[in-house]
Amino acid sequence: MPRSTRAVVRSTRAVAAPVPGLVPADADAEARIAVRKTYKIYIGGAFPRSESGRSYLVRGADGTPIANAVRGSRKDVRDAVRAARGAFPGWEARTAMNRGQVLYRVAELLEGRRDQFVAEVAAAEGLSAGEARAQVDRAVDRWVWYAGWADKISQLLGTVNPVAASYFDFTFPEATGVVGVVAPESSSLLGLVSRLAPVLVGGNVAVVLASEGRPLPAVTLSEVLATSDVPGGVVNLITGLRKELVPPLAAHMDVNAMDAWGVPAEMAVAVEAAAIENVKRVARAPRGGGDRIDWLDDRTAQRPEWIAAFLEMKTVWHPIGV
């Protein structure tokens, strides 16, 4: 079993760095009043609050209140899809090498903020500092792994087809478009990165619904994305309640595909039924649920098939002649 789902609830005091939230950093409390962070959503390269003006209280794994997160709305989902659609042509048109470099840059910036993520992941998931560090380190490495696929996946999936007539015939992959990513619920950072990176590397843009119970590391990741070279709108991230956000995303007619990995089992039928209305491609978690995967295991948690799941194969014919 992955550690993330069976984690023992520990005190946030065990973490390496103070959590910039509601929890008082008791040792330093008298010396300095901490500047708390407002956790916002990320749409079109900007950090708005929800148009609905709502928030919900996020608690750490031990039940301690950590912060108020944005309780996004159906309208936020629509705004995010619009931003994503606008960003798609530019991102898809990047050269494969350039996309690879941009995603590698995410790893670079994440590396520089490891301590912050270790603290947040530990608080969110109730992990020890060491366990949280393993999650964060693997998340950094996963960006590197996927970044390298950008200029290789076409050669893995593309073919030249030996047709029985005088034509040159070839097939190559292209991005499917706007992908709705319902992030894994329990693995707040590594699970999200493991599902988001394969979507982006192929040239897709994403509307991400962060983990409902553990959304804060995802929000901080969006701050990393905003300051890396990922163009605004390529990733849009909304926090809030699954039951409010998943249905409008699954039903949105300008979303081409859904990564349903984090869709709760009781919503799976409704999500797939809504998704078929514009023939969305749906990537489902394996039987037993997406939370059962060991995100730390490179052999199971990073795969070229996960890139391929959000690619279209295009076949081209041309006559051969003089």
Partner 1 sequence: MATSSDRKVTTRTNSAAVGRGTARPSTWGFGDGQAIPWEYAPAPESREIVQLQSRYGLFVGGKEIAPRTGQWFTTIDPATEEPLAEVARAGVEDVENAVAVARRAFRRSWGQLPGRERAKYLFRIARILQERSREFAVLETLDTGKPIKESRDVDIPLVAAHFWYYAGWADKLDYAFPGRRALPLGVAAQIIPWNFPLLMLAWKIAPALAAGNTVVLKPASSTPLSALLFADVCRQADLPPGVVNIVTGPGEIGLALVKHPDVDKVAFTGSTAVGKQIGRAIAGSGKALTLELGGKAANIDFDDAPLDQAIEGIVNGIFFNQGEVCCAGSRLLVQESIAEPLIEKLKDRLATLRVGDPLDKNTDVGAINNAAQLAKIEELIEAGVAEGAELYQPACELPSRGYFVRPTLFTNVAQSHRIAQEEIFGPVLSVLTFRTPDEAIEKANNTPYGLSAGVWTEKGSRILHMVKQLRAGVVWANTFNRFDPTSPFGGYKESGFGREGGLHGLLAYVRLEDR
CB atoms closer than 10 angstroms to residue 243: 11
Q: Kindly tell me which residue out of 243, 273, 292, 298 binds partner 1, with binding defined by CB under 8 A.
A: 273
Q: How many CB atoms lie within 10 A of CB 2?
A: 19
Q: Name residue 124's amino acid.
A: A
**Nearer residue to partner 1 within complex by CB, 227 or 315:** 315
| Of 161, 227, 243, 292, the one binding partner 1 by CB under 8 A | 161
Nearer to partner 1, 125 or 291 (CB): 291
> Hey, what are 142's tokens?
């996963």
Site size toward partner 1 (CB under 8 A) is 37
Region from 11-19, 121-129, 196-204, 279-287 binding partner 1, contact rule CB under 8 A: 279-287
- Binding segment for partner 1 among 32-40, 42-50, 72-80, 280-288 (CB under 8 A)? 280-288
Residue 315 binding partner 1, by CB under 8 A: yes
Please report whether residue 95 would count as binding partner 1 according to CB under 8 A: no
118: its two tokens? 């270790």
Q: Decide whether 137 or 169 has the Cβ nearer to partner 1.
A: 169
Among 163, 227, 243, 298, binds partner 1 (CB under 8 A): 163
Give me 50's structure tokens. Answer: 């929800």
**Residue number, 3 or 281, with CB nearest to partner 1:** 281
- Asked if residues 192 and 163 have their Cβ atoms less than 8 Å apart, the reply is no
Here the tokens at position 106 are 């995410």
Taking contact as CB under 8 A, which single stretch among the options 29-37, 38-46, 98-106, 163-171 is the one that binds partner 1? 163-171
Task: Yes or no: say if 229 and 102 are a contact pair by the CB < 8 Å rule.
Answer: yes
- Does 288 sit near partner 1 (CB under 8 A)? no
Using CB atoms within 10 Å of the CB of residue 63, give its burial: 0 to 12 exposed, 13 to 18 middle, 19+ buried.
exposed
Cβ atoms of 215 and 242 within 8 Å: the answer is no
Q: Is 322 a residue that touches partner 1 (CB under 8 A)?
A: no
Q: Using CB under 8 A, pick the residue from 6, 31, 319, 322 that binds partner 1.
A: 319
| 53 sits near partner 1 (criterion: CB under 8 A) | no
The structure tokens 């350039």 sit at: 98
Burial 255-277 (b: 16+ CB within 10 A, else e): bbbbbbbbbbeebeeebbebbee
Interactions with partner 1, residue window 168-187 (CB under 8 A): 169, 171, 176
Question: How far apart are alpha carbons 150 and 203 in whole angstroms?
Answer: 9
Does 300 contact partner 1 by CB under 8 A? yes
Min dist CB 168 to partner 1, Å, is: 9
Residue 57 in contact with partner 1, rule: CB under 8 A: no
The answer to whether 155 contacts partner 1 (rule: CB under 8 A) is: no
Is 162 among the residues that bind partner 1 (CB under 8 A)?
Answer: yes
Under rule CB under 8 A, residue 62 binds partner 1: no
Binding mask 247-266 for partner 1 (x = CB under 8 A): ---------x----------
What are the CA-CA distances from residue 250 to residues 78, 207, 256 (Å)?
11, 11, 10
Could you give phi then psi for residue 203, rounded to 5 degrees?
105, 5
CA 57 to CA 267: how far, in whole Å? Answer: 23
Q: Rule CB under 8 A: is residue 32 a binding residue for partner 1?
A: no
Ordered alpha helix ranges (H), 113-241 = 114-125, 129-149, 153-157, 190-201, 216-227
Token representation of residue 279 = 């023939």
Q: Are 3 and 131 in contact (CB under 8 A)?
A: yes
Residues that bind partner 1 (CB under 8 A): 156, 159, 161-165, 167, 169, 171, 176, 256, 268-273, 275-279, 281, 284, 287, 299-300, 305, 312-319
